[in-house]
Chain A
Amino acid sequence: MNKGRINLGWIDKRLDVIFILPLVIMMVGLVAYPLFFSIQLSLTNSSLMRPTAKFIMLRNYVEVCLDERFWAALVRSVIWTVGCISLQLAYGLAAALLLNQDIRGKGVFQVLLILPWTLPSVAFVQIWKWMLDPMGGIVNHLLYSLGVIPTYWSWFSKPHTAMGSVIWTYGWFAFPYVMVSILAGLKAIPQSHYDVAKVEGASALQTFRYVTFPYVRGIISIVLLIRTIWVFNKFAIIFLATGGGPGDATRTLPVLAYETGWQRFLIGKAASITGLMLVFLIIALFFYLKSVKFVEE
């Protein structure tokens, strides 16, 4: 036996550690440390206009909490999140329930329904901007000729429809994720349960309430939590569609953090806003892990 072989044998015995080490190093370097660093950053007056930064304790957090724009953005974030989640859940649940029916051509419908989810954000936001365009967008024309709206409407640039329009745009993109997850839960329901319900003479509504719903409740609550985390922190859609406008109609917390960091160059303060967002995230994650445990048991 030569020396190389002995060394290899030692490596092979510790392969469990050696195989997982790169993963751990990457996750610490790319996620854990940057998050820690972000918190550190939020305690300084770091700015992109200044080479040095001073430790200023919690002053950024105090200033942010005293700023009414933060609270306004938080309220908008909540509206955005609740709106998006309701739309995605309604659309996704309806699609999943329909796809779970015993009909021909399901597979084709399923592929087509997933398609929106594959589009890059720049693409589908631009598509909806064009479709909702006041100068000849197809949706405006459709709604106008059906008599729903009295005149072509500038959906993204009117204060009271901007939020609804971005919620719709994101819902259109994201519902397939909800659909697929719920569909997986529906597939796990044994057919015998439905047969019993039929024999007992349960109505469609009763069957849903007492057979279907108890099965998918766990999955729905997990999906809702995951979606809440994603939607609450979603930046690209609003940024691309309205940039937070018109005025401040769609300026949610991620947009506020972006403006603070990249337009006003106050990177330390921006980090304190995302630091507060991280607190919300940790609370949501706590509930997520709890509900996962609950479902597993």
Chain B
Amino acid sequence: MKMKYRTYRTLKRAGIYVALGALTFIAVSPIFWMGLSSIRHLSEVFQVPPKIIPTSLDLTGYQEVFLYTPFIQCLINSTFVGLVATAASIAIGAAGAYSITRWQKRYSKFISQSVLISYMIPPILLVIPYFILLKRVGLVDTLSGLILTHVSFALPFATWLLTAYFSTLPRELEEAARIDGCTNFGAFIRIILPLSVPGIVAVAIFTFINSWNEFVYALLLVTSAEKRTITAGFYSLMGAEVLQWEPMIAWIVLITIPPLIFFVLIQQKLVKGLAAGAVKR
């Protein structure tokens, strides 16, 4: 009886590993395949039958992407847009989230719910009015205009996560600070912010990744080649008369690496934060 139970458990465990392995394989192998394709010779990428293990090493794609495509310009644009949108969203979002959690006024709940709903409004519904409105104020086809549109999704997201984060901090800390003669502002700057650095960093990284990956606004609100972001820049490469496969694969790998690395760094925190959000809301 005991023996039987043990075999059952071993079998069950093996089954779990096989199933988990299969799901993981489907999730990871395309990324892996792309990485391999970027460092092998082009003739091998589209070879029939395909070879799994590369037999050639060819990095001309990486060379070409820097020399013959506007990759660096796009990289600078994306980084600039991402940094400014993230900084603005964190600053405004942290202040708003603190006000919502600290004072809990009648309007606080209404605002935090509106913020959550704003986050649900998809880009395709906003891009049409953005196009006309940005045109009116002369910001269409500018990076400043693009930054504003990125704040439209980054700010609700940052506010939402920071509200959840601040509400986990013990109230007594601030009260103690105020008894010691701290102003409200002082308590926020000297007590709350330092304690929230890990949370703020995680939210900032995730906000930056979202901006980095954004495509619809970058495609439709920016038309000049020199203002394209890495995603819109890749799209224009896709539409080229002569398809340049090698730099395209290199481009894809290069723009995938930053979010991948950042994400692995913050994933524990993010999963917890999302989990808290999913459970609470």
| A132–chain B nearest beta-carbon distance, Å | 10
Q: How many residues of A contact B (CB 8 A)?
A: 95
Q: Which residues of B contact A110 (CB under 8 A)?
A: 271
| B250–chain A nearest beta-carbon distance, Å | 12
Interface residues of A in 80-97 (CB under 8 A from B): 91, 94-95
Cβ of A20 and Cβ of B24 under 8 Å apart? no
Interface 9-mer from B55-63, B64-72, B88-96, B194-202: B88-96
Interface residues of B in 137-165 (CB under 8 A from A): 148-149, 151-152, 155-156, 159
Cβ of A94 and Cβ of B19 under 8 Å apart? yes
Q: Cβ of A166 < 8 Å from any Cβ of B?
A: no
- Would you give the 0/1 interface string for A1-37, flagging 1 where the beta carbon is closer than 8 Å to chain B? 0000000110111011101101110110011101101
Q: CA–CA, A12 to B187, complex, Å? A: 11
Which residue of chain B has the shortest Cβ distance to A278 in the bound complex?
Answer: B125
Q: CA–CA, A261 to B126, complex, Å? A: 13
Interface 9-mer from A61-69, A179-187, A205-213: A179-187
A115-B28, A136-B50 known; A19-B99 Cβ under 8 A: yes
Cβ of B215 and Cβ of A94 under 8 Å apart? no
Contact residues of A: prevailing secondary structure: helix
- The residue in A133, A136, A271 that gathers the most chain B C-beta atoms within 10 A of its C-beta is A136
Cβ of B118 and Cβ of A185 under 8 Å apart? no
Cβ of B34 and Cβ of A127 under 8 Å apart? yes
Cβ of B248 and Cβ of A118 under 8 Å apart? no
Which residue of chain A has the shortest Cβ distance to B13 in the bound complex?
Answer: A103
Query: Which single member of B50, B103, B129, B267 contacts A271 (CB below 8 Å)?
Result: B129
Give B residues with C-beta under 8 Å from A: 13, 16-17, 19-20, 23-24, 26-28, 30-31, 33-34, 37, 45-50, 92-93, 95-96, 98-100, 102-103, 105, 107-108, 111, 113-115, 117-118, 120-126, 128-133, 148-149, 151-152, 155-156, 159, 183-185, 188, 209, 212-213, 215-216, 220, 230-231, 234-235, 238, 248-249, 252, 255-256, 259-260, 262-264, 267, 271, 274-276, 278-279, 281
